[in-house]
Amino acid sequence: MDRHLGLAGATALVVGQVIAVGIFLTPAAMARLLGSPFWLLMVWLVAGAMALCGTLVYGELAARYPEAGGGYVYLREAWGPRVAFLYGWKCCLVMDPGITAALATGLAAYLGYLVPLSPMGLKIAGIAAIAVGAGVNIAGARLGAGVVSTLAVLKLGALATIVVAGFGLGRGDWGHFVPFVAQHPGAAPLGGALAGAFVSAFFAFGGWWEAAKLTGEVRDPGRTMPRALTAGVAIVTVAYMLTSAAFLYLVPLEAVTSDEAFAAQAGEVLFGRAGGVVLASIVIVSVLGSLFAIQMMLPRLYYAMSRDGLFPASLGRLHPTRGTPVRAIALQAVLASVLVALGSFDAIVAYFIFVTVAFIGLTVVGLFKLRGWAGVVGLGQVGPGCAPVYLTPGFPFTAIVFLALVAMLLVMLVASRPLQALAGTAIVLLGLPVYALIERQRGSRPRPEA
């Protein structure tokens, strides 16, 4: 693959992937639970710190193995092809097309607010958005990265407008922040509220780990990817905290009734009667940026698995002139479009949240294994053929903090959705006989050369 992405492009992809519709929905749920401006901002800060710790570790893994595939490659190198296949099996068949379909459907719903659409029209709009995103990314990685970067700048500009105008026009009330620390009457007990709010915040940051799948197309990946991941998550954290503060300034906590109403109320206070239209337009730009970003990132996993002989060889072929994995991009687009047409993906994806978080944790644990005992104390061994251009700052404490928060999150998910966690894990394990069959058929065939 052609290494054409620089620091700015890679950072924009991280921002473009992470910031979607979540920032317009999660602050309401978190505010209702916590009933405290201070704790709301602290949860964002902790979730951002957790994501930052994770990106620092993923940055070292990307520097060690500067190839397309991201988490799949890191799991393969640390734990072997069987575990890596299970991760790819889960992503390709369920999570990737499900998340793509969810974003496309959300985009269509907000488009329907601006232009009345029938239920069939909403499905067609969602599928059309997927088709356009696939077409842009198939046309060329430079074009795809340019479009995603432009949308990332637009969405940050839109959030900045909300923040600057929200505070600058003086249409809110600083009294909404009083009391600042103490919980408002009717809020949930603090312990349970913090747990629930943290889960919401984690998923608002969801997707930062996907950017590592583009490492094979980044210039000087050993230096660029760690910086891009770190800068991207830092930008998102600041954007989330400032946007939430602006929403609270515009709408008092006691007026928060639902996720959608909170953002709509803020938009109405800020932009008047046209607030709904302006806010819907901002959300469309945000979701479109995330949709195009994941359509660029996620197919690189199928490309990497194909190169390892675990997926059909055709998915590992690049277009002769554009240098893009055309069939891998098309596969994701087709599967996502089918889910949009069926309209039954939300519940399916929910079954795989637990195991997805578990795989992320296992990837970070893999760095301990890859470094060996010398790496645990920070001496930093390197992978085969890789120069030690980047080592995780504060290792092993950075990784330990991240893993502690991941463990806490897994406990919360099991406690709140035990059947979904068990069922999702069981379905992933069904990939074991599939892997065994592939291995028997593959026999001793060598891995295709890059």
Give me the domains of the chain, ranges plus CATH numbers: 7-350 (1.20.1740.10)
| CA-based nearest residue to 218, from 118, 344, 70, 79 | 70
| 119-139 helix and 326-342 helix, angle to the nearest 10 degrees | 170
Q: What's residue 310's pLDDT?
A: 79
Q: What's residue 206's pLDDT?
A: 78
| CA-based nearest residue to 324, from 216, 207, 231 | 216
Give one DSSP letter per residue of 126-161, joined into a string. Answer: HHHHHHHHHHHHHH-HHHHHHHHHHHHHHHHHHHHH
| CA-based nearest residue to 251, from 241, 265, 268, 235 | 265
Q: What's residue 379's pLDDT?
A: 46
Q: What's residue 362's pLDDT?
A: 94
Q: What gap in Å lies between CA 61 and CA 140, rounded to an integer?
A: 26
Which stretches of the chain score pLDDT less than 50? 1, 375, 378-387, 448-450
pTM of the model: 0.80
Q: What's residue 385's pLDDT?
A: 43
209-247 pLDDT, tens digit per residue, is 877 766 766 777 777 888 888 888 899 899 889 988 888
Torsion of CA 132, 134, 139, 144, to 10 degrees: 90
Torsion of CA 134, 140, 142, 146, to 10 degrees: -30
39-69 pLDDT, tens digit per residue, is 989 999 998 998 899 988 988 888 888 777 7
Tokens representing 320? Answer: 């002769």
The chain-wide mean pLDDT, for the chain, equals: 80
Tokens representing 445? Answer: 């065939």
Q: What gap in Å lies between CA 149 and CA 169, rounded to an integer?
A: 29
